[in-house]
Amino acid sequence: MLEVGMQASLIEEVTPKNTADQIGKGGLQVFSTPALVALVEKLCLEFLGPHLGQDEATVGTKLEVAHNAATPIGMKIKIVATLKSIEGRKLGLEIRAFDDNEEVAVIQHERYIVNSTKFMEKALKKRR
């Protein structure tokens, strides 16, 4: 059961594969914002998934990212998610990211609990 105040965390090492340079930012060997967003998605799925019903999932609908400091290759990024609000099927999360020296990002994230089958049926109708 989901409850306001629940927390979860995840740690990832900064490698050449998750740097800004990998997405075309000419030589910047630092953890990229897209990699940060992907890490947030991974954490939310691992964090929230066990608390959902059999045919439920969560989908992200809004992200407000303040990526305020660079983290070079070889350091680790730790993200900590806190469930801040539950309004029916809408979940509000705050995610804070830290490297070995400082807080590097603050993210406000909105997700919705959906019925997986209905969600996919609606999405696949677009192809018809």
For residues 18 and 126, what is the distance between their CA atoms, to the nearest angstrom?
Answer: 32
Tokens found for residue 125: 């109708």
- Hey, which residues are catalytic here? 33, 41, 67
How many helices and strands (H and E) does the chain possess? 2, 5
Q: For residues 57-77, give the mean pLDDT.
A: 98
Residue 71 has pLDDT above 80, yes or no: yes
Judge whether residue 25 has pLDDT over 80: no
Q: Which amino acid is located at 112 in the chain? A: Y
Domain boundaries, the chain: 7-127
Q: Is the pTM of this model over 0.85?
A: yes
CATH fold group of domain 7-127: Thiol Ester Dehydrase; Chain A (3.10.129)
Higher pLDDT, 121 or 25: 121
